[in-house]
């Protein structure tokens, strides 16, 4: 079975012209294949198989054996470095994970990789976190390792196809996965953004599709070197520019075509070698960009603030050295820069010039996504708002509300206008308005007819309800629970209305009485309603021209109004279209210049 290894480093950003390959001392452990490598500071590290674990010093071009890897033998694992620590894990069908301490020359087992055991995975380190994914039986999962808490968290799966034996590298705050095999050899490239936990397709590698290449990053560029097409070992080498999203062929790897090799970066140089080239080999090579100018980029901390900058670390100012930035600066540093692409031309003391663009990046703006719980009733304090956020620099855990409350939720609040200030881990703040809606208040509207005398139970009261959340329940002071009340004596009657949220509103109506006991009888005689019962139009006839009928309402037995005619004229017969009324019992309420009265009517 054939295995492979991909290794990575996180260099400072640099600018360069195309460089050359040079042989270096063979790997100290002899011929190997499918091993792992990474760079820490000024040294490179290769090993952990039976060949032992070795440190390479580019200054002396020499290898020194270091503390043996304490895990079991495995092939096709993953290696990367974070700060002064190196990490190895997975390989074979294993999911164990180990940390190498450069200072103490010791190995410590850490929390097992969060996914299943596998070979042929890829990994890299981005902004102090480690990442491992793909591999195994054609997988696409992606896991984040936090060395501060020694924990793994599953992140968004690779958007592209499943694969194993691909390559990965990290440039700045982004990670990249390239090439691999899942029954088909691939040359696609995918960019991972930890800030948004998303993948984006980038320019595919122009060379042959392959698996088992070396993947490494240096000088703000990514490199894919060698690999296996399924029938042919390769020795081509490619450089990826993330700013231009483009690939450039660089001088071919000078050793024999091969795969299952390893590589690492130290400073602005990359180192590659070992692997399988018809047999396992131990030769190693250095790729150094011509007249390289190292540049350290200070990205912007808060979105839309012009606080970025860049400093050229080499060549340092001196005789014959010059800098020409696209913003007009001629010093080794630029500052107070907004996000964007800047170009610098650097000439060293030997007269060698290199020109390159750099990207001063910024985090996405903080955005909030509120989840609202409206108060149950108008004016009460049962509402809440909880926030989810994107953008900024995670984690975002500082929320201060206009109420003085801290946290991503406010609870027990009424409807109204609020604001919240959100601060991310980089101390960038943004204030957002938040509007919490609430139900409209319950509104009680009365219609009533006074009693015909002080002791006559002929009064009528009904309510029409608006606002709140229907359906409604009614509770009158006389014990009734219907919206319309008949046969009322003069007096004050109160009603409490409860909606579906158990919100309560109460009000009262006064039933008076007319001064003459004979008025209602007279009205009953002078206003005629026909036919009774009715099936179509309803006729109202006024016999006495002194009676002015100013309003007619027809309501059903639960108090819902169906017809309202206002105003009317006197001494006339009115025809009311009742086509919209269903068969049933209704109450007709009539208001005149002599008083108000009602009758029960029935539609067939």
Per-residue pLDDT tens over the stretch 172-185? 899 999 999 999 99
- Give CA–CA dist 209/230, Å, rounded: 9
Task: Tally the residues of the chain.
Answer: 604
- Give CA–CA dist 436/413, Å, rounded: 9
Please give the structure tokens belonging to residue 425: 């881990």
Residues of the chain with pLDDT under 50: 1-17, 516-517
- Give CA–CA dist 126/594, Å, rounded: 88
**What does each C-alpha distance from 460 to 19, 366, 513, 555, 597 come to in angstroms?**
100, 61, 11, 12, 8
Burial per residue of 392-420, b for 16 or more beta-carbon CB atoms within 10 angstroms, e otherwise: bbbebeebbbeeeeeebebeebebeebeb
Nearest Cα residue to 556 out of 467, 418, 415, 462: 462
Are 50 and 62 in contact by the 8 Å Cβ rule? The answer is no
- Give CA–CA dist 92/108, Å, rounded: 20
Are 243 and 359 in contact by the 8 Å Cβ rule? The answer is yes
Q: Backbone dihedral region of 478: left (phi > 0), alpha (psi from -120 to 50 degrees) or beta?
A: alpha
Per DSSP, 456 falls in state: -
pLDDT for 19 equals: 79
Please give the structure tokens belonging to residue 321: 């050295």
pLDDT for 358 equals: 87
Are 254 and 285 in contact by the 8 Å Cβ rule? The answer is yes
- Give CA–CA dist 168/158, Å, rounded: 12
Per DSSP, 210 falls in state: B
Are 34 and 165 in contact by the 8 Å Cβ rule? The answer is no
Q: Collapse the DSSP code of 229 into the 3-class scheme (helix H, G, I; strand E, B; otherwise coil) and give the result.
A: coil
- Give CA–CA dist 33/381, Å, rounded: 68
- Which domains are seen in the chain, by residue range? 6-291 (2.120.10.80), 299-360 (no CATH), 367-436 (2.60.40.1080), 443-511 (2.60.40), 518-603 (2.60.40.1930)
State the alpha helices, DSSP H only, in 538-583. Answer: none
Task: Identify whether 531 is preceded by a cis peptide bond (ω within 30 of 0).
Answer: yes
Give every CB contact of residue 172 below 8 A, 6+ residues apart in sequence.
13, 220, 242, 297, 299, 359, 361
């Amino acid at each position: 079975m054939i295995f492979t290894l991909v290794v990575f480093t996180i260099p400072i950003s640099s600018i360069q012209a195309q460089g050359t390959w040079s042989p270096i001392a063979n790997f100290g452990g002899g011929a190997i294949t499918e091993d792992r490598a990474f760079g820490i500071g000024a040294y490179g590290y290769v090993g952990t198989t039976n060949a032992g674990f070795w440190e390479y010093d580019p200054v002396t071009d020499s290898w020194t054996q270091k503390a043996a890897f304490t895990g079991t033998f495995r092939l096709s694992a993953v290696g990367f470095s974070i700060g002064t620590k190196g990490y190895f894990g997975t390989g074979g069908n294993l999911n164990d994970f180990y940390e190498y301490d450069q200072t103490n020359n010791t190995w410590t087992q850490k929390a097992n990789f969060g996914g299943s055991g596998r070979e042929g995975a890829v990994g890299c380190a981005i902004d102090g976190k480690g990442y491992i994914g793909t591999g195994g039986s054609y997988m696409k999962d992606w896991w984040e390792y936090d060395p501060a808490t020694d924990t793994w968290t599953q992140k968004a799966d690779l958007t592209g196809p499943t694969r194993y034996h691909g390559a990965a590298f990290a440039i700045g705050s982004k990670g990249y996965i390239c090439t691999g095999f899942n029954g088909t050899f691939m040359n696609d490239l995918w960019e991972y953004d930890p800030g948004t936990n998303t993948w984006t397709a980038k320019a595919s590698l122009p060379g042959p599709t392959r698996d088992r290449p070396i993947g490494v990053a240096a000088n703000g560029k990514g490199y894919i070197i060698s690999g296996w097409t399924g029938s042919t070992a390769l020795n081509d080498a490619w450089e990826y520019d993330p700013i231009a999203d483009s690939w450039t062929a660089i001088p071919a790897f000078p050793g024999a075509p091969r795969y299952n090799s390893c590589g690492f970066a130290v400073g602005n140089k990359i180192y590659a070698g070992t692997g399988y080239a018809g047999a396992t080999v131990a030769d190693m090579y250095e790729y150094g960009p011509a007249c390289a100018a190292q540049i350290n980029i200070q990205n912007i901390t808060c979105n839309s603030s012009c606080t970025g900058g860049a400093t050229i670390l080499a060549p340092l100012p001196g005789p014959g050295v010059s800098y020409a930035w696209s913003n007009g600066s001629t010093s080794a540093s630029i500052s107070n820069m907004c996000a964007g692409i800047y170009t610098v031309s650097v000439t060293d003391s030997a007269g060698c010039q290199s020109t390159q663009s750099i990207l001063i990046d910024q985090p996405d703006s903080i955005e909030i996504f509120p989840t609202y719980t409206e108060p149950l009733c108008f004016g009460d304090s049962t509402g809440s708002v909880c926030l989810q956020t994107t953008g900024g620099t995670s984690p975002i855990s500082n929320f201060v509300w206009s109420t003085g409350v801290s946290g991503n939720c406010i609870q027990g609040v009424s409807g109204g206008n609020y604001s919240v200030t959100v601060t991310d881990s980089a101390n960038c703040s943004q204030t957002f308005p938040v509007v919490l809606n609430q139900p409209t208040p319950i509104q009680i509207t009365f219609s009533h007819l006074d009693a015909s005398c002080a002791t006559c139970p002929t009064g009528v009261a009904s309510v029409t309800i608006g606002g709140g959340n229907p359906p409604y329940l009614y509770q009158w002071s006389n014990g009734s629970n219907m919206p319309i009340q008949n046969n009322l004596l003069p007096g004050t009657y109160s009603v409490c209305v409860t909606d579906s949220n158990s919100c309560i509103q109460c009000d009262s109506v006064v039933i008076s009485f007319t001064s003459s006991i004979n008025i209602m009888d007279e009205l009953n005689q002078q206003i005629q309603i026909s036919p009774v019962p009715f099936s179509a139009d309803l006729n109202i006839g006024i016999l006495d021209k002194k009676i002015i009928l100013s309003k007619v309402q027809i309501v059903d037995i639960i108090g819902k109004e169906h017809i309202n005619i206002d105003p009317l004229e006197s001494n006339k017969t009115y025809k009311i279209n009742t086509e919209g009324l269903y068969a049933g019992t209704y109450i007709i309420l009539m208001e005149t210049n002599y008083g108000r009265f009602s009758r029960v009517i029935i539609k067939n």
